């Protein structure tokens, strides 16, 4: 079951959900709006290699905005640190942002119970699009879980700022 806005507020106050900073005006009927942080990463090599670390370039989103270009993957991050040891968080782009031609978090919206940190956002624009630090870019919903909980303790725990893929670290597991 999905948590309602009032239950998100209650859970944020009793510690079952952590959202920092928390702002009551970002609560929706069944989700919480999250904002875009000021840092973007892009992969700078000609080819992204899943089996190796990849070079990245850091871009800061200035107050007058940053223009996202089509055909480029941008890794952004949430302003808020969000997590829960009790609920399953799912992050989606806001429909208002989607109507501008910006895809947010299309392939990995689910968070793990026990993850706490800023969320990395996978951003892709259909047309050149100016984005701004602090703009409300997505929304997180929280779902109740059923069964024993095994808290997340993976490689992205405690993330601050956008995190490039660390898929290559798992290579030994696949071989």
Q: In the predicted model, what is the mean pLDDT of residues 158-167?
A: 88
Q: Is residue 166 part of a domain?
A: no
Question: Over pLDDT 90: what percentage of the chain?
Answer: 82
Tell if the pTM clears 0.85, that is, is over it.
Answer: yes
Q: Is residue 170 part of a domain?
A: no
* Banded model confidence at residue 174, pLDDT cuts 50, 70, 90: low
Q: Is residue 100 part of a domain?
A: yes
Q: Is residue 165 part of a domain?
A: no
* Banded model confidence at residue 165, pLDDT cuts 50, 70, 90: confident
Based on the structure, what is the number of domains in the chain? 1
Q: What is the residue range of 106's domain?
A: 5-45+54-147
Task: Give pLDDT tens digits for 47-84.
Answer: 999 999 999 999 999 999 999 999 999 999 999 999 99
- CATH number, position 26: 2.70.40.10
Question: Over pLDDT 70: what percentage of the chain?
Answer: 97
Per-residue HEC secondary structure of the chain comes to CECCHHHHHHHHHHCCCEEECCCHHHECCCCEEEEECCEEEEECCCCCCCCCCCCEEEEECECCEEEECCCCCEEEEEEEEEECCCEEEEEEECHHHHCCCEEECCCCCECCCCCEEEEEEEEEECCCEEECCCCEEEEEEEEECCCCCCCCCCCCCCCCCCCCCCHHHHHHHHC
Q: Is residue 107 part of a domain?
A: yes
Q: Is residue 134 part of a domain?
A: yes
């Amino acid at each position: 079951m999905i948590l309602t806005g009032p239950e998100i507020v209650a859970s944020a106050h009793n510690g079952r959900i952590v959202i920092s900073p928390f702002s009551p005006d970002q609560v929706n009927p069944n989700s919480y709006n999250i904002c875009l942080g000021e840092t973007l990463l892009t992969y700078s090599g000609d080819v992204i290699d899943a089996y190796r670390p990849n070079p990245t370039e850091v871009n800061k989103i200035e107050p007058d905005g940053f223009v996202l270009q089509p055909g480029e993957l941008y890794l952004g991050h949430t302003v808020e640190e969000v997590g829960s040891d009790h609920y399953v968080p799912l992050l989606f782009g806001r429909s208002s942002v989607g109507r501008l031609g910006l895809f947010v978090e299309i392939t990995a919206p689910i968070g793990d119970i026990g993850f706490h940190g800023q969320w990395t956002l996978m951003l892709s624009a259909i047309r050149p699009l100016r984005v701004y630090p602090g703009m409300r870019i997505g929304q997180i919903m929280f779902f109740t879980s059923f069964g024993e909980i095994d808290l997340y303790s993976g490689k992205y725990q405690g993330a601050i700022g956008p995190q490039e893929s660390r898929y290559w670290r798992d290579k030994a597991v696949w071989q």
